Chains A and B, each alone.
Chain A
Amino acid sequence: MEGLPTSSALSRRAVLAAGAALALAGCGPRLVGARTVRYANWGSPGDDSDAMRLVRGLYEDFELSTGVDLRVENIPGSQEYLRKVLLSYVAKSEPDVITLDASSAAIFIENGVLQDLMPFVNGANGVLLEEFFPNVVEIAKRGDALYALPVDFNPVLVYYNRAMFAAAGVPEPRDGWTFEDFRATARALTKGEQYGFEFANWMPGWIMWLWNHGGDVLSPDGRRAQGYLDAEPCVEAVQFLHDLVERDKVAPRLSQAASMGVDLFANARSAMKVSGHWELVGLASAPKVNLDEVGVVSFPTRLENPITVAYEAGLAMGRHARNLEDAWEFIRFFTSEATQMEYQRTGIAICARQAVAEKMATTEVKQAFVRAARTARVPWGARVPKYDQVERIGQDMMDRVMQHGTKPAEALRSAAQQIDEVFRDA
């Protein structure tokens, strides 16, 4: 009997072996092979929308054409995404390819989280940067280095309901209109339960009011807020927004808007709102607004030319990426003209490739977005690593003005101080 395992020992080993196999196959992490690319993107893993199915089809096309195993890691929530990807970088295990949001690009770029893509761009298997909108390419550029290849972007404009304008006998707005034009228009459109405008306290959506009033949140070098955010142009712009709600009553209070429980613009309860290209996706199935009756116009301005922003998304490569060639192959595939012609059918944004953007701009509204795109500004988050804290302070500031009745000058002075403290601590 010696040398032969007993039945109980055998069964014990069998159970242990089976357990180990199960742990490896099912419970443990999947083993990453040589031709594997890990790709981090926003979104819910369970998203089964039409847009997501289209995107999954593109992923499969990439895998079939290259033989690369693409492991997509969808992370819901922009803050959660930021945190998870950055912490995986700290653990030196970040995904090979990372979707980079312009609004938080600086924290990645300035902390050395990403690889310079220029060697790949200029390599044998490269791309022509001239085919992209130059201002959008600029977002992830630092000197000669490029840290993300842009996929698409969203300028933010003023949406208006043409049917409501016609019904009120109000002429449609045109680019170059002034703040006073806007106020008068909103007044003319407000009656009964219908508002001329809908204001949302979302700083990426209201910062353009400051810009178009000649102000800004930070100094041009992005290092201080005092002297800028608390300067007269910003105070006047915030006062203007406050007055729209409290004095002119052409927009509901934030709590009133929330208590109505519906998207006011999509339900023809407000005639104007500020939003990006993504709004068109929701409006296509809006209950009381026909997409053909929607117009867009640039922000009212007191400058020579109106300003908007380019909220861009690009593809970047993690500094600890293991499979550089295949990671670049995926970036190249996904930003290629052929893929983008498919991908942009989702309609969420404007393609960063100029030719694709122009081909996809089949309506007047989309053409207006493409026109605005050419001069859209780089968002602060692409330049200032601590900008997410600036946005939190800005949002609080607006809450104080809109909900607590704090004077704009006082709220802005306090916010500017807080922001500079954040920068000092950094």
Chain B
Amino acid sequence: MRKSQTGWWFIAPATLHLLVFAFVPVAYAAYVSLFRWDILRDERTFVGLDQYQRLMADQAFWGSMGQTFKYALMAVPGGLVAALLVALAVSQPLKGMAWFRTLFYIPAVSSGVAIAMLWIYVYLPERGLINTMLMGLGQPSIDFLNESGWALPALAFMSVWVGLGPRMIIYVAGLMSLPVTVYEAASLDGASGWQKFWRMTMPLLAPTHLFVLVTSTIGAFQTFTPVYMMTNGRPMGSTNLVGYHIYVTAWENFNVSAASAQSFVLLFLLGLVSLAQFRMMRRRLEGYDAS
């Protein structure tokens, strides 16, 4: 009894923190979404699910959701492939690999704002790093952040770079946990390097793929800092990702009720996407088991 009481005391601070800073705000946001609430005039009217109904016809919100899907489709697979390749490289038993892992991880511990500032310079027309290289190759300069066809891929590319470190570390952990004996047996059976990678490493890493896929997708849907710092949703709404759109609704348009409703719709859709990803991976795992 005393033991369990001690355990409760230990988890009390974290539980309290979670309650106060996560559960209570989420519950309060749900409550706010049921009102038409003018925070500047402090006038509120209970409207039930009216905010959600209006949201169904809100073109700007669904437009931002569409852009976010596009962004996720660019950033997540790209991020997974890049992280896996780097993880494979830094898992080689070579000298100095620990340094490389550290180097790749540095962006993850840097400030999001500082990173966004850095990438503004990388993408600068004419004088930016990428344009200097392009012009060196005789190509015209591209205004990456102000051309509607380029701005979203530019943000997605940056997110691949930023997320590389954490994803790589997870993949490295996954690779290290793979059973060596299976590989030895495969070598004895004459399996090539590619066969070992494709038929053994990839399936054995399935739980890691799933974890990275789900967390990266959630992260892509929560993207805010680069949009706020680099594009403000422009040009032509091409980078108006849903996280930023919710922020603008709440704190630029001061419509906190609509923003709360938008957050819950996003939560619901993310839940669906994550569920679909779980099911898809489980089916694939079962397929591997059967084969």
Contact = CB atoms under 8 A, between A and B. Distances in A.
A89 B125 contact: no
Contacts of A404: 148, 236
A399 B234 contact: yes
A399 B148 contact: yes
Given A83-B252, A90-B40, A403 B148 contact: yes
Interface string B50-61: 000010000010
A259 interface: yes
A336 interface: no
Contacts of B235: 396, 399, 403
Contacts of A107: 40
Given A86-B254, A255-B143, A403-B235, A260 B40 contact: no
What is the interface residue range for chain A against chain B?
Answer: 20 to 34
B95 interface: no
A388 B41 CA distance: 18
A395 B234 contact: yes
Interface in A69-119: 79, 83, 86-87, 89-90, 107, 111-113
Contacts of A259: 125-126, 131, 140-143
Contact of A89 (B40, B124, B251, B252): B40
Interface in A254-289: 254-255, 258-261
A255 B251 contact: no
A380 B140 CA distance: 40
A399 B252 CA distance: 21
A119 B194 CA distance: 84
B184 interface: no
Interface string A338-363: 00000000000000000000000000
Contacts of A83: 251-252
Interface in B27-55: 39-42, 54
B38 to A, nearest CB: 8
Given A86-B40, A90-B39, A403-B235, A261 B252 contact: no
B147 A255 contact: yes
A404 B60 CA distance: 19
B253 A400 contact: no
Most central of B124, B141, B142 by chain A CB within 10 Å? B141
Contacts of B223: none
Contact of B252 (A79, A395, A403): A79
B143 A396 contact: no
Nearest to B251: A83
Nearest to B253: A389
Interface in B252-280: 252-255
Contacts of B254: 86
Contacts of B253: 386, 389
B125 A261 contact: yes
Nearest to B127: A261
Nearest to B36: A425
A55 B54 CA distance: 48
Contacts of A113: 40
A255 B143 CA distance: 6
Contacts of B124: 261
A395 B147 CA distance: 14
A386 to B, nearest CB: 8
A113 B124 CA distance: 40
A258 B146 CA distance: 9
Nearest to B236: A399
Contacts of B251: 83, 87
Contact of A400 (B41, B127, B236): B236
Contact of B126 (A261, A386, A399, A400): A261
Nearest to A253: B143
A177 to B, nearest CB: 31
B122 to A, nearest CB: 14
Contacts of A258: 125, 143, 146
B207 interface: no
A3 B60 CA distance: 71
Interface string B108-146: 000000000000000011110001000000001111001
A386 B146 CA distance: 25
A337 to B, nearest CB: 35
B174 interface: no
Contacts of A112: 41
Nearest to A259: B125
A112 B42 CA distance: 11
Nearest to A256: B143
B237 interface: yes
Contacts of A403: 146-148, 235-236
A381 to B, nearest CB: 13
A48 to B, nearest CB: 20
Contacts of A261: 124-127
Contacts of A400: 236
A254 B143 CA distance: 9
A418 B240 CA distance: 16
Interface in A380-394: 386, 388-389
A269 to B, nearest CB: 13
A86 B251 CA distance: 10
A255 B236 contact: no
Interface in A52-74: none
Most central of A90, A111, A255 by chain B CB within 10 Å? A255
B40 A396 contact: no
B9 to A, nearest CB: 22
A299 to B, nearest CB: 25
Given A261-B127, A404-B236, A254 B40 contact: no
B137 to A, nearest CB: 16
A90 B252 CA distance: 14
Nearest to B128: A261
Interface of B: 39-42, 54, 60, 124-127, 131, 140-143, 146-148, 234-237, 251-255
25 contacts: A79-B252, A83-B251, A87-B251, A90-B39, A90-B42, A107-B40, A111-B40, A111-B41, A112-B41, A255-B142, A255-B146, A255-B147, A258-B125, A259-B126, A259-B131, A259-B140, A259-B143, A261-B124, A396-B234, A396-B235, A396-B237, A399-B148, A399-B236, A400-B236, A403-B235
Given A259-B131, A403-B235, 12 more contacts: A79-B252, A90-B42, A107-B40, A255-B125, A258-B125, A259-B126, A259-B140, A260-B126, A261-B124, A261-B126, A395-B234, A396-B236
In the A-B complex, list the 7 residue pairs whose CB atoms are closest, starting with the nearest. Answer: A259-B125, A111-B40, A255-B143, A259-B141, A261-B126, A258-B143, A399-B236
